[in-house]
Chains A and B, each alone.
Chain A
Amino acid sequence: MSETVITFQNVTKKFAFQSQKTFKEFLPALIRGEETSKGFTALDNISFEIKKGESVGIIGPNGSGKSTILKLIAGVMSPTTGKIQVKGQISPLIELGAGMHPELTGRENIYLNGAILGLKRKQIDANLQSIIDFSEIAEFIDQPVKHYSSGMYMRLAFAIAIHVNPEILIVDEILAVGDDAFQKKCFRKMEEFKRNKITIIFVSHSLEQVKMFCDKAIYINHSKLISQGEVDNVCQEYEQTINKK
Chain B
Amino acid sequence: MPGVTNGVRVKFSSFQSLVNCYKDQSHKKVFGDKIFRTIKASTCFQNQSWMVYNELMLAIVKEIRDIIKWRELLAQMVGREVKARYKQSILGYFWIILNPLAQMLVMSFAFSIILRIPTNATGNIPYSVFLFVALLPWTLFANSLSSACSSLVNSASLITKVYFPRTILVLSTVSAKMIDFALALSVLVIYMIVYQLPVTLNILWVIPIFLIQQIFTMGLSLFFAAANLLYRDIQYLLSLLLVLWMYVTPVIYPADLVPEKYQLVFQLNPMAVIINAYRQTVLGGGMPNLLSISIALAVSLLVLLIGFAYFKSREKIFSDNI
Contacts and interface: CB of A to CB of B under 8 A. Distances in A.
A65 to B, nearest CB: 14
B36 interface: no
A103 B87 contact: yes
Interface in B138-184: 157-164
A76 B157 CA distance: 11
B290 to A, nearest CB: 41
A15 B322 CA distance: 12
Interface string A71-104: 1001111100000000000101011001101011
Contacts of A178: none
B162 A74 contact: yes
A120 B157 contact: no
Nearest to A16: B320
Contacts of A103: 83-84, 87-88
Contact of A71 (B75, B77, B157, B160): B160
Contact of A76 (B73, B75, B80, B163): B163
Contact of B159 (A76, A108, A117, A119): A76
A95 B83 contact: no
A111 B88 contact: no
Interface residues of B, number: 23
B160 A76 contact: yes
Contacts of B76: 111-112, 115-116
B232 to A, nearest CB: 12
B319 interface: yes
B50 interface: no
Contact of A115 (B72, B157, B159): B72
26 contacts: A71-B160, A74-B161, A74-B162, A76-B159, A76-B319, A77-B320, A90-B163, A92-B162, A94-B161, A98-B158, A98-B161, A98-B162, A99-B157, A99-B158, A101-B80, A103-B84, A104-B84, A111-B76, A112-B76, A112-B77, A112-B80, A115-B72, A115-B73, A116-B158, A117-B162, A120-B72
Interface of A: 15-16, 71, 74-78, 90, 92, 94-95, 98-99, 101, 103-104, 108, 111-112, 115-121, 144
Given A92-B161, A99-B157, 10 more contacts: A74-B162, A77-B319, A92-B162, A94-B161, A98-B162, A99-B162, A101-B84, A115-B72, A115-B76, A118-B73
